[in-house]
Amino acid sequence: AITEEKGTISIHTENIFPIIKKFLYSDHEIFLRELVSNAVDATQKLKRLSSIGEFNGELGELKVTVKLDENAKTITVSDNGIGMTAEEIKKYINQIAFSGATEFVQKYKDKGEDQQIIGHFGLGFYSAFMVAEKVEIITKSFREDAEPARWVSAGTTEFEITQTTKEERGTDIVLHIAEDSKEFLEKFRLQNILDKYGKFLPVPIEFDGNVINNTAPLWTKSPSELKDEDYLKFYKDLYPMSEDPLFWIHLNVDYPFNLTGILYFPKVKNELHLHKDKIQLYSRQVFITDEVKDVVPEFLMLLHGVIDSPDIPLNVSRSFLQADANVKKINAHITKKVGDKLQELFKNDRKSFEDKFDHIGLFIKYGMITDDKFYDKAKDFCLLKNTESKFYTLNEYREHVQANQTDKDGTVTFLYTSDPGKQDAYVQSARKRSYDVLKLDGMLDSHFINTLERKLEKTNLKRVDSDTIDKLIDKGIANESVLSEDEKTKLKEVFEHTLNNKNLTFSVESLPVDELPVTITLPEFMRRMRDMAANGGGG
Ligand code: ADP
Ligand code: MG
């Protein structure tokens, strides 16, 4: 029989709960995630024992039930998993769970308020004390002769273990909700928390008579058994208001780290920020966060979908996360997969790739701007579009313009327009001289242009209204002028005098264009300086 026992949990911090409460203040709701995950774990452990022959009883229908009793002011999380003996409670709750909590407190109690803790600590069982003034565990182990046991603690380091009665195998965790946490005694609040964290848990979670979760979400299935419709439907489940995505990547890695997930490429229009922070991070089907910064490279944060990895540490600060080796590997892996997928699309169906390029181009350019490794891969499939809406890879484009747009030193100039409407006259003029003009008028293109100049050898990018055109190799197509040299000089002086701006270059020449009798150009670097000043220093 269980000998009744009272005792003091051996930790050094006298009362850790006020400290836990303080640090977890903004995130009290995670107590439910922690307790429900423990209940799920308990059922999964039993399933495993059964599969290896260490449990020969009936598994039955494994499930977790969350019950709310507004009158008694309790929330009860029940499972029919492995349960615990009194010895196991002492070991797993008094020693292990408490040592986790203690370690946490030791680590963070001296840190200032500005120390941003990611918000998910793996505090586990003891997070119950964020909302409860008293917690009971009533449990019966799966072992045949196990005696049920009851543990109770009122949020101090004191605990009590006694005998109790319980027929069924498994564990009930009863939280007596504290006065300042009454909000959790509302059905809708609980429902919302369960929806948020438990939507895809692998065991049925019952609340208020309903199962709230899908136990086999798409990312846990094998890609070979899935159709496009399945992926599209799952996307709609995740983001009910969104347009269909362009395509997706099903991630499935088990070495050297464990990672599954589905990443969708959304149709991104111009408002980048609307598309950010949509990826959901899970750990064994438990929702953790939708702040995937650091786990996913910045440029891929525009993607949507789900990443599930038990190998991402959740009980550490953000700065630690950035330095974590697994996180770095995951980051690199995702980047590589995305690169592979884009490359494959480009190779297999260039036409469709071009059709989608207005959307995909944004990711690709963002990636090339911010990630050198990605640049190296993407340079072969990143497309440039000219004013005739033809697409070229970087190499193809270079070849396309080489003959006409190379200067004496062998430097090739890519001309572009950043505003096809306003710069139309310049575009026409350049095209009349047989120059090609790229359309680089997207929101990332000014950065992209800088990246290309940095990366491409012997290549300049010049806006079509800069003074470049005149400096390109003489095409020998200048028309005979109707003006005499004298008249040209006078005309030039008139402009110089009237506009009185030393930064501008004036020249009088005959262009093979009727619509453009006069062009005034600005050296490219001056123009960029001016644009930068106008944009408040770039951007
Ligand atoms: P973790 O889940 O990370 O191990 P917790 O603090 O959440 O840490 O839980 C501590 C331990 O208590 C668990 O590892 C498990 O052994 C035990 N435990 C907690 N809840 C249950 C439960 N519902 N059924 C069986 N064992 C449990
Ligand atoms: Mg736990």
Query: 94 CB under 6 A from ligand 1?
Result: no
CB crowding 346-364: b at 16 or more within 10 Å, else e: beeeeeebbebbeebbbbb
Query: 79 CB under 6 A from ligand 1?
Result: yes
Give percent of the chain above pLDDT 70. Answer: 80
Kindly tell me if the per-residue pLDDT of 118 is higher than 70: no
Question: Tens of pLDDT along 135-176?
Answer: 999 999 999 889 999 999 987 778 899 999 999 999 999 999
Q: Comparing 56-65, 111-120, 196-205, which segment has the lowest mean pLDDT?
A: 111-120
CB 246 within 8 A of CB 233: no
Question: Tens of pLDDT along 393-443?
Answer: 999 999 999 988 988 888 999 999 999 988 898 898 888 888 999 999 988
Q: Which DSSP letter does residue 243 get?
A: P
Q: What pLDDT shows up at residue 112?
A: 45
Q: How many angstroms is it from 19 CA to the middle of ligand 1?
A: 21
**Terminal CA-CA length for the chain:** 72
Question: Tens of pLDDT along 495-530?
Answer: 888 877 777 777 776 655 555 556 667 777 777 777
Structure tokens at 2: 């269980």
Residue nearest to atom 11 of ligand 1 (CA): 92
Q: How many angstroms is it from 286 CA to the middle of ligand 2?
A: 11
Q: What pLDDT shows up at residue 109?
A: 56
Q: How many angstroms is it from 359 CA to the middle of ligand 2?
A: 41
Kindly tell me if the per-residue pLDDT of 121 is higher than 60: no
- Predicted complex: ipTM over 0.85: yes
Query: Dihedral angle at the C-alpha atoms of 338, 343, 344, 345, nearest 10 degrees?
Result: 90
Q: Which residues pair with 218 in a beta bridge?
A: none
Query: 84 CB under 6 A from ligand 1?
Result: yes
Amino acid at 404: N
Q: What pLDDT shows up at residue 137?
A: 98
Pairwise CA distance, residues 311 & 446, whole Å: 38
Q: How many angstroms is it from 147 CA to the middle of ligand 2?
A: 23
Query: 141 CB under 6 A from ligand 1?
Result: no
Phi, psi for 422 (deg, rounded to 5): -65, -35
Pairwise CA distance, residues 98 & 91, whole Å: 10
Q: Comparing 250-259, 289-298, 334-343, 416-425, which segment has the lowest mean pLDDT?
A: 289-298
315 burial type by CB count under 10 A (0-12 exposed, 13-18 middle, 19+ buried): middle
Q: What pLDDT shows up at residue 474?
A: 47
Kindly tell me if the per-residue pLDDT of 185 is higher than 70: yes
Q: Which residues pair with 252 in a beta bridge?
A: 260
Spatial CA neighbour of 19 closest among 104, 90, 82: 104
Kindly tell me if the per-residue pLDDT of 356 is higher than 70: yes
Q: How many angstroms is it from 57 CA to the middle of ligand 2?
A: 25
Query: 97 CB under 6 A from ligand 1?
Result: yes
> Which ligand minimizes its atom distance to the CA of 90?
1
Name the band, by pLDDT with cuts 50, 70 and 90, for residue 470: low
Pairwise CA distance, residues 452 & 378, whole Å: 12
> Which ligand minimizes its atom distance to the CA of 42?
1
> Which ligand minimizes its atom distance to the CA of 128?
1
